[in-house]
Amino acid sequence: MGITKTQIFNEEQNDLAQFFKVLGHPARVAILQYVSNQNACICNDLVEEIGLAQATISQHLKELKSIGLLNGEIEGKKMCYCINVERWETIQNQLNNFFNKTKSNCC
């Protein structure tokens, strides 16, 4: 099929999986690392930096925006992408909560 049966899972499970999924591509990991290491916000040297076509980078940026992890601000004909730190921390907390609650075990 290829279609995920989201209806049979609860909201927490679907949300967590959604975050993980968006972060689950090396280009998106690389974008986040690069954006956070720039002092200036004017990005999109990303295309050169990462080595994927402009259309592809744009698509990955869209996915990172879809979970609120990146904000894009228009600055003339350039875009200023930056990490939404508040959202970032919220997500980190949710993931840690998952890890901490889930690691107890019997073996």
- Give the whole-angstrom CA distance, residue 24 versus residue 4: 16
| Distance in Å, CB of 6 to DNA, minimum | 8
| Chain-centre distance for alpha carbon 69 | 5
What's 51-95 look like in SS3? Answer: HCCHHHHHHHHHHHHHCCCEEEEEECCEEEEEECHHHHHHHHHHH
| Chain-centre distance for alpha carbon 106 | 33
- From the list DNA, its own copies, none, partner contacted by residue 3 (C-beta under 5 to 8 A by kind): DNA
Contacting its own copies within 17-36 (CB under 8 A): 17-30, 32-33, 35-36
For DNA, the closer CB: 100 or 106: 106
| Residues lying near its own copies in the complex (CB under 8 A) | 4-6, 8-9, 13-14, 16-30, 32-33, 35-41, 50-52, 71, 73, 80, 82-83, 85, 88-89, 92, 95-96, 98-99, 101-107
